[in-house]
Amino acid sequence: MYKIALVGATGMVGRKMLEVLAERAFPISELIPVASERSVGKCISFNGKDVAIVDMKTAIEKAPHIAIFSAGGETALQYAPLFANKGTYVIDNSSAFRMDADKALVVPEINGNEIPKEQYIIPNPNC
């Protein structure tokens, strides 16, 4: 079971990611939805339960196993390293790290098994 932070949980892509996590019965022990300050304290529904949205600082302090980012490049550049420094694996859906020569660009079906264990920020090619 994994503690998962979803950064950008209230956006269109974030909501779709929640649907996919639920459909695939991803083993989540705790969901940590993260959104902008105006959404903090509101609830989203996940697997039939209401889950309160938290701010970025709270999510980082919870040290999730995985943080899925769908909140834009600036947000990823600012906060993904803070999660990574806590030992959280960050899957970034923005363009922030795609061209970073030090990070393997990952398409799970093609090279998902080639991610270096010490690479905590994992960019994906998006569309």
Give tens-digit pLDDT for 37-91. Answer: 999 999 999 999 999 999 999 999 999 999 999 999 999 999 999 999 999 999 9
The C-alpha atoms of residue 26 and residue 23 are separated, in whole angstroms, by 8
Please give the pLDDT value at position 127.
59
Please give the pLDDT value at position 126.
72
Tokens of 106: 């990952």
φ, ψ dihedrals at 67, nearest 5°: -120, 120
Is the whole model's pTM more than 0.95, yes or no?
no
Please give the pLDDT value at position 108.
83
Please give the pLDDT value at position 109.
86
Q: 41 or 127: which carries more pLDDT confidence?
A: 41
Please give the pLDDT value at position 107.
86
SS3 readout for 45-67 = EECCEEEECECHHHHHHCCCCEE
Whether residue 117 has pLDDT greater than 90: no
Please give the pLDDT value at position 104.
85
C-beta of residue 5 within 8 angstroms of C-beta of residue 68: yes
The C-alpha atoms of residue 56 and residue 37 are separated, in whole angstroms, by 9
Give tens-digit pLDDT for 91-110. Answer: 999 999 999 988 988 888 88
C-alpha distance from residue 29 to each of 2, 71, 89, 98, 108 (Å)? 5, 23, 16, 29, 23
